[in-house]
A and B are shown apart, each in its own frame.
Chain A
Amino acid sequence: MKPRSFVGLLVVFFALTLTAQLQAQKMKIILDQDARGPATTDMQSLLIFLQSDKFDVLGITTVSGDQWMKEETQRTLRLLEIAGRTDVPVAEGALFPLLNSKEESERWEDLYGKLGYKGCWSDFSKRAHVSEAYKAGYHDPLVVPALVEGEPHIKPIAESAAEFIVRMVYKYPGEVVIWAGGPMTNIALALRLDPAVATLAKELVLMGSGMYSDKGGIDRIDGRREFNWWFDPEAVRISLRAPWKKITITPIDISVKTNLGKEIHDAIAKADTPVAQYLTKYSEPSFMWDELSAAALIDPFIITGQKEFYVDIDIDHGPSYGETLFWGSEATVPPYEHKATVQFDVDTKKLYDLYVKLMTQAPRTN
């Protein structure tokens, strides 16, 4: 054989095996999310995982936070139908955080001032929002309103979120990334069901906490009182002190450097797919919170600056209940504090391009 065609054959051979290897190396991931819908950062981040070919989404586990869990579960099931991904199981998680409550948050407000955003404990009916997700007044935990995006026909699985998480990390030891886009109640429940979750999982990746930001916090300027973490501080304490191999955090600080605005909305509106139309109809301008965390898992170069910090949370039921605590990586801290990689700077062009590409993608045929 001539040397050139031999080399050519070799190149083709290696390219093929590499592709096969890449296909086999999809990241196994569990998406734990307070899946408020329709659209919003919660559903938009789920869509990133579902549309990308980089992930083997083992399941979605729902938790109360932005909305109550029961409603979120229905909206997630509907999203899976719209995205053509009914192969992904949905497991229902915690309806209430461990200790915090609507009543406790109201006592806090009596003493320390009104909070700007309280997720499912909020009444949005008087706010000047345009999107469906933000129109509702307060409703009780078990109420599921009629879904504007359509009622789902599929159902969640019988297993609880925590049991599902435990089962998956044992099924694929060392491989499962646990991604938390909302309050960490399910993660804490899984850890208390079986502490081995932390060591069997590959990594904990989460959107939550805030360090230096002067906006984006739930009372506007206090960026250390971030919603996901404030909603269930005890769950964060349990999760952050568990011995994960790696913890990656997308805090408020980086999210408020993004803008999901008109340009992106219009670019997506051009596509005539169920996913693109869903977003066109229901999405509203916002920072990119959970989407950023998701996108960074596809293309790490979206993150242009990050730091190692020891990270924890204040769980004293006083004025700082739910606030982020953090120390520099050189600090001398007690042994139960763990380091996390905290993301601070973003290449917004890469992020927006990836987002639009995924959201306008042709529907899957399988």
Chain B
Amino acid sequence: MSSALKGPVTRRQFVTSSTAAIFASSLAGAVPLSQMSARDGEGGKSRVIIDTDPGVDDAFALLLAMRSPELKIEAITPVAGNVPLELTLPNALRMVEIAGRTDIPVAAGAKGPWLRRLVTATYAHGENGLGGAVFPEPTTQPVSEPAAQLIGQIVRKYPGEVTLITIGPLTNIAAALAADSDLAGKVRGLVMMGGSLSGGNITPAAEFNIYVDPEAARMVFQSGIPITMVGLDVTRKTALTDDHVRQLSAGKSPVSQAAAKIASKAIEHNRSQGFLVGPNMHDSLALAAFLDPSILTFENYYVDVEVNGELTAGQTLGYSPNRGDLRRTPEMQAKAESSMVIRGAAPTLAGTRISPVLRDKYVPNTRVALQLDSSRFFNLLIGRLSS
């Protein structure tokens, strides 16, 4: 993973050295990066840790993951987000029991964001986080280690092998990274449900997971870990329908039945709020992106997170020299890459400096999912859950 780094590195240099090499290979087009796929693992299995805040779509994602034989789920680490940890932790344990996978360690994570008061999304996920669907109290216990510690232990045990699949606020991940400055270089990659380059949900600017803990998100985007961002740009196209519920109800397994129950309650909850479309399966799409990247197309960006803005805190900003009005001919693309700079806001006074206020060199740190084949996604999701 850490390709030939010339001597000791700053946190910044992690970005320029280790990720530049990976992204250089994908500059030409939408070839999915092999490190970012479940199919590339040792002996056909990929080691993953799933960080989650169940959450309706989290629950689906967990069930999908536990129904995916190509994944070796090393741990599930709940975090506060959609609902408080007091609910996300037992909800995760419930899913593990329903899937008959109590071999997977579940480690309790953070009760709240790094620096902000927890904002939850019960308007979307119901008071209990599962759309109001009731399941028995779990009997399985979480492990004694806190999530951040367990993440560090597992990544250090399998350097270069573990992909972090993050489908909640990034509070736990940032804690694991901050505690061990060598950890980022040992993570194989990170696939997140989070962010958006096309407007937010909880605010016009921000997607919920990043909004809840913008500081943690910035720490992750600045860590140098190669990131696959599955954001609202594509997850808006994953609305659950009554037809999906029918298919799931027809499945015989406890997983299928549980998914059908959650789905139907979630749709009902959505309708009762007056929403016109069903709940989106954001987090399952992040899992699917890792299982089969070919259902999506990706573009490389330098992504950073707004932490200040009165109106925009939690917004993900994607810089690319070859998008929108900046698009160039293929011959000029490479030149554009090397000359692009990342600007900050213009200073308020016309001072002596007339050059742009530079924040950073342009080095892509994220491949962002921009297009989705939703029917292929649902075939994968419903297919695996109901089989």
- Check A107 against B114 for contact (C-beta < 8 Å): no
A16 to B10, CA, bound (A): 56
A91 to chain B, nearest CB (A): 12
Q: How many residues of B contact A (CB 8 A)?
A: 31
Query: What per-residue 1/0 map shows which CB atoms of B333-359 lie under 8 Å from chain A?
Result: 000000000001001000001000111
A316 near B219: Cβ-Cβ < 8 Å: no
Interface residue B382 (Cβ < 8 Å from any Cβ of A):
no
CB-nearest residue of chain A to B7: A140
Shortest A171–chain B CB gap in Å is: 16
Determine whether the beta carbon of A192 is less than 8 Å from that of B181: no
Q: Are A111 and B12 in contact (CB under 8 A)?
A: no
Q: How far in angstroms is the closest Cβ of chain B from A192?
A: 5
The number of residue pairs between A and B whose CB atoms lie closer than 8 Å in the complex comes to 75
A200 → B minimal CB distance (Å): 15
Specify the chain B residue showing the minimal Cβ separation from A160.
Answer: B179
Q: Is A326 an interface residue (CB 8 A)?
A: no
| Contacts known (A96-B11, A142-B8); A238 close to B115, Cβ less than 8 A | yes
**Interface of chain B, main secondary structure:** loop
Considering the complex, which residues of chain B in the window 111-169 have a beta carbon less than 8 Å from any beta carbon of chain A?
Answer: 111, 114-115, 146, 148-149
A141 within 8 A of B: yes
* Residue interface mask B354-384, A partner, CB < 8 A = 1: 0001111000000000000000000000000
A146 at the binding interface (Cβ < 8 Å)? no
Could you say which of A34-42, A97-105, A127-135, A290-298 contacts chain B? A97-105
Asked whether B308 lies within 8 Å of A318 as measured between CB atoms, the reply is yes
Contact B115 A234 (CB under 8 A): yes
Candidate in A98, A101, A189, A195 with the most chain B CB atoms within 10 angstroms: A98
Contact string against B for A residues 225-261, beta-carbon threshold 8 Å, 1 for contact and 0 otherwise: 0000000001001100000000000000000000000
Check: B24 CB closer than 8 A to any chain A CB: no
Kindly state the separation between the CA atoms of A74 and B136 in the bound complex, as whole angstroms: 54
1/0 contact string of B170-189 vs chain A (CB within 8 Å): 00000100111100000000
Contact A189:B10 (CB < 8 A) given known A107-B359, A163-B149: no
Question: What residues of chain B lie closer than 8 Å to A94, measured between beta carbons?
Answer: 178-179, 181
Question: How many Å lie between the Cα of A189 and that of B358 in the bound state?
Answer: 30
A136 to chain B, nearest CB (A): 15
A350 at the interface (CB under 8 A from B): no
- Cβ of B344 and Cβ of A162 under 8 Å apart? no
Q: With the chains together, A95 CA to B14 CA distance in Å?
A: 14
Q: What is the minimal beta-carbon distance from A138 to any residue of chain B, in angstroms?
A: 11
State whether the Cβ of B218 lies closer than 8 Å to any Cβ in chain A. Answer: yes
- Whole-angstrom distance between the alpha carbons of A9 and B112 in the complex? 60
Interface residues of B in 84-106 (CB under 8 A from A): none
Q: What is the CB-to-nearest-CB distance from B4 to chain A, in angstroms, rounded to a whole number?
A: 16
B307 lies within 8 A of chain A by Cβ: yes
Q: How far is the CA of A224 from the CA of B218 in the complex (A)?
A: 26
Given contacts A98-B219, A234-B114, A318-B308, contact A141 B10 (CB under 8 A): yes
In Å, the complex CA distance between A107 and B357 comes to 8
Q: Which of A311-344 contact B (CB under 8 A)?
A: 315-318
How far apart sit A142 and B353, CA to CA, in the bound complex (Å)?
Answer: 34
Q: For A316, what are the chain B residues with a Cβ–Cβ distance below 8 Å?
A: 308
Known: A140-B9, A142-B9. A99 touches B175 (CB 8 A): no
* B218 (CB) vs chain A CBs: closest residue: A99
B307 x A96 contact (CB < 8 A): no
Q: Within the complex, which residue of A98, A103, A237 is in contact with B178, where a contact is CB–CB below 8 Å?
A: A98
Using CB atoms, name the residue of chain B closest to A103: B12
B347 lies within 8 A of A189 (CB): no
- Is B215 close to A, CB under 8 A? yes
Q: Does B190 contact A (CB under 8 A)?
A: no
B110 on interface, CB distance cutoff 8 Å? yes
Cβ-defined contact, A195 with B111, below 8 A: yes
Q: Provide the residues of chain B in CB contact with A162, threshold 8 Å.
A: 179
CA distance A193 to B215 in the complex (A): 16
The reply to whether B308 and A99 form a contact with Cβ atoms under 8 Å apart is: no
Partner of A101, one of B12, B115, B149, B347: B12
The answer to whether A143 has its CB under 8 Å from any CB of chain B is yes
A99, B12: Cβ atoms under 8 Å? no
Most buried by A among B10, B111, B175: B10
Pairwise interchain contact A99-B307, C-beta atoms closer than 8 A? yes
Contacts of B175 in A (CB 8 A): 189, 192-193
Alpha-carbon distance between A144 and B180 when the two chains are bound, in angstroms: 18
Q: Does A194 contact B (CB under 8 A)?
A: yes
Q: How far is the CA of A269 from the CA of B308 in the complex (A)?
A: 51
Which one of B9, B181, B360 has the greatest number of beta carbons of chain A within 10 Å? B181
Report A235 CB to chain B, min CB distance, Å: 9
Q: B347, A111: Cβ atoms under 8 Å? A: yes
- Smallest CB separation, B263 vs chain A (Å): 35
- Looking at the assembled complex, report how far the CB atom of A195 sits from the nearest CB atom of chain B, in whole angstroms: 7
Indicate if the CB atoms of A98 and B215 lie closer than 8 Å: yes
The answer to whether A107 and B344 touch (CB under 8 A), given A140-B10, A142-B8, A195-B111, is yes
* Bound complex: CA A234 to CA B175 (Å): 13
The answer, among B10, B115, B146, B180, for a CB contact under 8 Å with A193, is B146
Contact with A along B213-254 (1 / 0, CB 8 A): 001001100100000000000000000000000000000000
Given contacts A99-B215, A193-B148, A193-B175, contact A140 B111 (CB under 8 A): no
Q: Which residues of B contact A192 (CB under 8 A)?
A: 110, 114, 148, 175, 178
Using CB atoms, name the residue of chain B closest to A162. B179
Q: A102 to chain B: which residues have CB within 8 Å?
A: 10, 12
Is the Cβ of A110 less than 8 Å from the Cβ of B353?
yes
A154-172 interface code vs B (CB 8 A; 1 in, 0 out):
0000001011000000000
Binding site for B on A (CB under 8 A): 94-96, 98-99, 101-103, 107, 110-111, 140-143, 160, 162-163, 185, 189, 192-195, 234, 237-238, 315-318
**The 9 residue pairs across chains A and B that have the minimum distance between CB atoms:** A142-B8, A95-B181, A140-B8, A192-B175, A96-B11, A317-B308, A111-B347, A143-B8, A316-B308
Supply 10 A–B pairs (Cβ within 8 Å), ascending by A: A96-B11, A98-B215, A99-B215, A107-B357, A189-B178, A189-B179, A192-B110, A192-B178, A234-B115, A316-B308
